[in-house]
Chain A
């Protein structure tokens, strides 16, 4: 397996707080890698360092052989890394179909294209692709509704659809099931395990152990800015260090 995302020696401090200290993480192509850890462990900071929202103090983030540090959000997207946010980041005033067509257009048009005389009605291929993707996520029956009118769980699935239509090389998911009811959570797990998505390389930040153990191929445990261990779900379950640092002291899940 080749390594698609290589995080080496990343440090990030906010004032006196060491949010990340010397984090090393290698994500292999095709795997689903979960990052777990108690609140404030630095999981979101790590994700933000990967997608250009934060610039690490030192260390390197290499994606697919490309240095990611200092790159603009739109260039990172075109490099093939797509992030799904914790609070759904969709286009609330546009229809579901348009929400999914826009990422498809990004894939085709690049960062900027000025084509004011080509009508959207003629973009048949884009529309068909978008409808098919909505259907995969069981959202096609709402395609003409504006995105703000659907439920929160549907919004998160919509954002997932918006990410998937771009065929990313790596999908970063920030707590994909946070705030969802159990049956909604299970639906999302099924989706992420579905044929279309299970081959995709994914990094998942998640609190919910049920979700983590149903999805992950490998798990890394982040505690106070350090990755204390990385291993298969079985190894993590039986690791005394993890029990002590994480599961033992805060058994909230």
Chain B
């Protein structure tokens, strides 16, 4: 009974929401509580959670998901320019347009599986990137990136009588400008949300919503069928399932997640550039998902957070700071250490990421989540809970909620 309760959807969502919404507080001790970084955690979390619905459930490794991130950003900026600075229509449009792109790219890419599928998605992504960078300059503003201008039409805003006098308008959510400070009185408590935190909370609420959808998919018959496709697609066909529409649906949903993430990126900083669609960005979401644990619910989110946090730390370091870090050593040793470490920080932080990724894949193929599970089992053994968790539990909840499962 207790086990069932711990796995119930409302409880998971309650805990998840509480953890996400209080992130500015509990991330403070590790210096990760400033809005810029928190926003990245939430947005790339959405991206990775969506990517996991494709890769984690069906095993289809897409190398082109940054396309949908970029499409989402461009769509959102165009929505700001043409319709309104309100982010709600921008996000809805970002989801719809990236969904259409995913439908087209998925339709063709899913004619193949395995490595050929990956290559096809990569090819589509590179095409999209080149188009955005050069050919479609009137739509994407090429190298410079798509930006807002004061004289943009903003049809809905001008209908509502909003006039922008000086400078550029900022994205808002029903009139609340995203970058601004917010103070209000909630049940007698003075709540003060600092500049930029509103952006985080918008992204965090989106994350909670899409996490809920992802949780439902994982636990549904639809999710189980996707897992079965990953396990044995031939069997699925002979069992009477037309696997193509299942895969395409998963592909489109994950494309929409990426579109939402792109729309949110544009909502917080209203510009969109082609570099957002580059293959490195597609690779990054693969890393996040595998690092955290593909096919697990929370793993991809952890992966996104870890990578964005480490990026933030390592890419900010420079040789001068390294010298101060190693200042406890004698001077000669200090210089040697700095020379060794320097290529791994700043611009070269991807080297660190590469190392970390290698270590994870070699020693913990299941990602950080597998590590946590091992740790959990170790703790259980140390404290004498002798009913060892069966390591063969599948990730879907089906077998966990069976009557015999409770009795154990």
Closest beta carbon of chain B to A156's beta carbon, Å: 13
Q: Are B239 and A143 in contact (CB under 8 A)?
A: no
Closest to B399 in A: A95
Which residues of B have CB within 8 Å of A162?
A: 239
Residues from chain B with a CB closer than 8 A to the CB of A112 are 241-242, 245-246
Known: A103-B239, A105-B221, A115-B221. A120 touches B231 (CB 8 A): no
Which of B213, B220, B236 has most A Cβ within 10 Å? B220
Name which residue of chain A comes closest to B396, CB basis. A120
A162, B232: Cα distance in complex, Å: 14
Q: Which residue of B lies closest to A99 (CB)?
A: B228
A83 within 8 A of B: yes
B234→A93 contact, CB < 8 A: no
Residue of B nearest to A144 (CB): B399
B373 in the interface (beta carbon within 8 A): no
**Bound-state Cα–Cα, A37 to B94, Å:** 62
Q: A residues bordering B, Cβ < 8 Å?
A: 51, 72-74, 77-78, 82-83, 89-95, 97-98, 101-103, 105-107, 109-121, 123, 127, 143-146, 149, 162, 166
Shortest Cβ distance from A135 into chain B, in angstroms? 12
Whether A143 touches B216, Cβ cut-off 8 Å, given contacts A106-B239, A111-B242, is no
**Cβ-neighbour of A98 out of B220, B240, B396, B405 (below 8 A):** B396
Known: A114-B249, A116-B223. Is A91-B228 also a contact (CB below 8 A)?
yes
A35–B295 alpha-carbon span in the complex (Å): 43
- Determine how close the nearest CB of chain A comes to the CB of B191; give it in whole angstroms: 33
Q: State how many angstroms separate the Cβ of A102 from the closest Cβ of chain B.
A: 5
Name the distance in Å between B371's Cβ and chain A's nearest Cβ: 20
B405 partner residues in chain A, CB cutoff 8 A: 144
The reply to whether A92 and B231 form a contact with Cβ atoms under 8 Å apart is yes
Q: Are A116 and B399 in contact (CB under 8 A)?
A: no
Per the bound structure, the CA–CA distance linking A91 and B230 in Å amounts to 9
Looking at the complex, which one of B213, B231, B236 makes contact with A93 (CB distance below 8 Å)?
Answer: B231
Interface string of B234-270 (1 = CB under 8 A from A): 1111111111011001000000000000000000000
Interface presence of B23 (CB below 8 A): no
The interface residues of chain A lying within 8 Å CB-to-CB of B228 are 91, 94, 98, 102
Q: B210 in the interface, Cβ–Cβ < 8 Å? A: no
Evaluate contact between A143 and B404: CB separation under 8 angstroms: yes
B residues in contact with A119, CB < 8 Å? 9, 216, 219-220, 397
| Chain B: minimal CB distance from A184 (Å) | 22
Residues of B within 8 A of A107 (CB): 240
A146: min CB distance to chain B, Å: 5
A214 to chain B, nearest CB (A): 27
Within 8 Å of chain A (Cβ to Cβ): is B393?
yes
B residues less than 8 Å from A83 (CB atoms): 238
Q: How far is the CB of A202 from chain B (nearest CB, A)?
A: 16
Beta-carbon contact of A98 and B238 below 8 Å? no
Query: Interface SS of chain B: helix, strand, loop or mixed?
Result: helix
State which residues 272-323 of B face A: CB under 8 Å: none
A195 to B401, CA, bound (A): 31
> Does B151 make an interface contact (CB < 8 A)?
no
Given A98-B224, A115-B222, A116-B220, A73 contacting B237 (CB threshold 8 A) = yes
Interchain CA distance A14-B232 in the complex, whole Å: 28
Does B120 sit within 8 A of A, measured CB to CB? no
Bound Cα distance A77, B393 (Å): 29
Residues A97 and B245 in contact in the complex (CB < 8 Å), given A77-B238, A119-B219? no
With A90-B232, A115-B222, A116-B217: A143-B245 Cβ-Cβ less than 8 Å: no
Q: Which of B227, B249, B390 meets A144, CB within 8 Å?
A: B390
Q: Are A77 and B221 in contact (CB under 8 A)?
A: no
Contact A101 B398 (CB under 8 A): yes
Closest beta carbon of chain B to A168's beta carbon, Å: 10
Cβ–Cβ contact B227 & A94, under 8 A: yes
Flag B379-408 by CB within 8 Å of A: 1 or 0 each. Answer: 000000000001011101111011011000
A149 to B243, CA, bound (A): 26
* A51, closest chain B residue (CB): B238
Closest 9 CB pairs of A and B: A77-B240, A106-B240, A111-B242, A91-B231, A95-B399, A73-B237, A93-B231, A116-B217, A89-B235
Give complex CA distance A201, B285 in Å.
51
- By beta carbon, the residue of chain A nearest B245 is A112
Report the Cα distance A91→B222, complex, angstroms: 16
Q: Tell me how far the C-beta of B198 lies from the nearest C-beta in chain A, rounded to whole angstroms.
A: 30
Question: With an 8 A cutoff between CB atoms, is B225 at the interface?
Answer: yes
A145 near B224 (CB under 8 angstroms)? no
CA gap between A77 and B221 in the complex, in Å: 19
CA distance in complex: A107, B249 (Å): 20
Determine whether the beta carbon of A120 is less than 8 Å from that of B221: yes
Considering the chains assembled together, what is the distance between the CA atoms of A119 and B243 in angstroms? 20
Tell which of B224, B239, B390, B396 has the most Cβ of chain A within 10 Å: B239
